[in-house]
Amino acid sequence: MKISTIRDLLGAEVLCCEDSLDSDVYSACGSDMMSDVLAYVKDQAVLLTGLVNPQVIRTAQMMDMVCIVFVRSKRPSEAMISMAEDDGIVMMATDMRMYNACGTLYVNGLIGTATHV
């Protein structure tokens, strides 16, 4: 799925790296707990979260994610946007709740990875 399709499906506003919207992504995850993202997520390209702090950007960097979507009308700081921009991570914001945003992406073909905890 193209990042531009994610933008359209979620009615999201692009906050940085708009030039990367044609990139393809194949999986996503939704979490507000970055420790869970680090522990259980593998090969996820898109992170959906309502957590707005620099740790989100650092986690995305460590996991080689290419896109972060902030849900529930959350807005990152200018410093966070700058950090993402420096690494070429597309950052978007949507008014949707995480459950609805994840469900919308899933039914339109963007999958997560099965994990066994």
Give the model confidence (pLDDT) of 24-65 as tens digits: 999 899 999 998 888 877 777 899 999 999 999 999 999 989
Dihedral (Cα; 5, 102, 75, 68), 10-degree rounding: -60
Q: Is 74 exposed, middle or buried (0-12, 13-18, 19+ CB in 10 A)?
A: middle
**Which pLDDT score is estimated for 71?**
98
How high is the pLDDT of residue 44? 72
Q: Which domains does the chain have, with CATH numbers?
A: 3-107 (3.40.1390.20)
pLDDT digits (tens, 9 = 90+) for 63-94: 989 999 999 999 999 999 999 999 999 999 99
2 pLDDT above the threshold of 80: yes
Residues with Cβ within 8 Å of residue 61, at least 6 apart in sequence? 87, 89
What contacts 114, CB < 8 A, 6 or more positions away? none
Ordered strands of the 28-30 beta sheet: 13-16, 90-93, 67-70, 46-49, 28-30
The rounded distance, in Å, linking the Cα atoms of 12 and 24 is 17
- Above 70 in pLDDT, residue 113? no
Cα 88 from chain centroid (whole Å): 13
